[in-house]
């Protein structure tokens, strides 16, 4: 990676404006998974230990029309961060403005200030230069450690880089190194596992990976569309009829690379307690729906994976929120956890959640914090938040 990192800067007495990804899941005002906050700790602690005052900014949730909404306030993340680090953490109500400027000016080395949700300012998603300038005026350097937001050209991810010298945080560096080396110089066999609901979300990724990987294993709802494109009856399963032609074209192009399920766990209704059974892909009943891959497919995919040296996984194999339809996803996670001398990279989003749910996160080489960003990176797109960072001399 040719981008400057926080190790390239003398932080003594400097203020660091750090874009983190604290877009954590909430339930009734409580954080249900703090993985993204924990992932930012190495960067935050390094800056504090090297004499910097740290100003953190992030978005949280999807507040409507850039309007403040108490349920998406960053205060909950600031309070939680205060329990994870040995440093004073202050929260300020505002993204910019006099109160923020005053709090930033008073901030001392070794202290942390958390700004309010960047999306409470409608200028954020428009990458408005005035907001970027106001944010940049708070600090000496801009650090981007929010890989999960690197595919967004927003004021807090790219705009501020116009007005401050920049560096990548440790998480950003780690994401780019793992994903970059997997794509540029993978150890082989190199296998991609793609799941999730829709083929349409991953057309570009599949096309890009067909040029790089040895095998692609398909699961989840997107497998239904691929199977339907090959003439299999899919009953009431989720099928994207408008991309059947594209799916058929991908199958033709990747005939030697793309593997589809050979059996499925089907259900009578979309429910956790639905009546379910295993059927061959030729035998999906007309009024049933496929909600997971079946045991023969699990065995077939495990056989493919057994000798893999590099694996990238993005998207669950079924409706993993329902335990009975999580078996394919958990089996794949366990298979990856058992691989020896292999690099296993889990794309963000549901795949990362599934691995954490299975308690196998520590067994993977890298669990990405970026769902959409990981997909765009795998597709070969330049991420605006990465492009905006300064290169090493």
Q: Which two tokens stand for residue 64?
A: 């409507």
Measuring CA to CA, which residue among 182, 186, 176, 222 is closest to residue 318?
Answer: 222
Catalytically annotated residue among 36, 152, 202, 265: 36
Catalytically annotated residue among 219, 349, 370, 385: 349
Measuring CA to CA, which residue among 242, 248, 254, 252 is closest to residue 206?
Answer: 254
Q: Which two tokens stand for residue 57?
A: 């900014």
* Contact between 134 and 109 (Cβ < 8 Å): no
Angle formed at CA 283 by CA 277 and CA 285, multiple of 5 degrees: 70
Tell me the C-alpha to C-alpha distance, in Å, between residue 179 and each of 18, 311, 360: 22, 11, 20
Length of the chain: 393
Q: Is 212 one of the catalytic residues?
A: no
Q: Is 349 one of the catalytic residues?
A: yes
Catalytically annotated residue among 126, 198, 212, 363: 198
Catalytically annotated residue among 61, 110, 204, 372: 372
Angle formed at CA 293 by CA 292 and CA 299, multiple of 5 degrees: 150
Q: Is 372 one of the catalytic residues?
A: yes
End-to-end CA distance of the chain: 12
Q: Is 36 one of the catalytic residues?
A: yes
Q: Which residues are annotated as catalytic? A: 36, 198, 349, 372
């Amino acid at each position: 990676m040719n981008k400057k990192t926080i190790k390239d800067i003398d932080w003594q007495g400097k203020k660091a404006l750090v874009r983190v990804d604290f877009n954590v899941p909430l339930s009734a005002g409580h954080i249900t998974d703090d993985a993204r906050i924990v992932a930012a700790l190495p960067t935050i602690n390094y800056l504090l230990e090297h004499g910097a005052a740290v100003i953190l900014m992030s978005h949280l949730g999807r507040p409507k029309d850039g309007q403040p909404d108490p349920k998406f306030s960053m205060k909950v993340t600031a309070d939680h961060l205060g329990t994870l680090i040995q440093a004073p953490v202050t929260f300020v109500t505002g993204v910019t403005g006099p109160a923020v400027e005053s709090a930033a000016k008073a901030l001392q080395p070794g202290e942390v200030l958390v700004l309010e949700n960047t999306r409470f300012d409608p200028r954020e998603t428009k990458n408005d230069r005035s907001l970027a300038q106001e944010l940049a005026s708070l600090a000496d350097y801009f650090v981007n450690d929010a890989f999960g937001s690197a595919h967004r050209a927003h004021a807090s991810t790219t705009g501020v880089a116009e007005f401050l010298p920049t560096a990548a945080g440790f998480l950003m560096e780690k994401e780019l190194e793992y994903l970059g080396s997997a794509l540029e110089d993978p150890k082989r066999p190199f296998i991609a596992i793609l799941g999730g609901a829709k083929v349409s979300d991953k057309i570009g990724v599949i096309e890009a990976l067909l040029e790089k990987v040895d095998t692609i294993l398909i699961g989840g709802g997107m497998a239904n569309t691929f199977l339907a494109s090959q003439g299999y009856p899919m009953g009431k399963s989720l099928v994207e009829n408008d991309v059947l032609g594209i799916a058929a074209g991908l199958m033709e192009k990747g005939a030697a690379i793309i593997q589809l399920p050979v059996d499925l766990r089907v259900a009578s209704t979309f429910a956790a307690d639905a009546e379910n059974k295993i059927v061959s892909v030729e035998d999906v009943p007309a009024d049933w729906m496929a909600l997971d891959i079946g045991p023969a497919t699990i065995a077939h995919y495990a056989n493919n994976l057994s000798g893999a040296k590099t694996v990238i996984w993005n998207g669950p194999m079924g409706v993993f929120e329902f335990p009975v339809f999580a078996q394919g996803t958990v089996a794949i996670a366990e298979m990856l956890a058992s691989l020896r001398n292999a690099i296993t990279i889990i794309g963000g989003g549901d795949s990362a959640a599934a691995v954490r749910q299975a308690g196998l996160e520590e067994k993977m080489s890298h669990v990405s914090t970026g769902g959409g960003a990981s997909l765009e990176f795998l597709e070969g797109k330049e991420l605006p938040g990465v492009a905006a960072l300064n290169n090493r001399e």
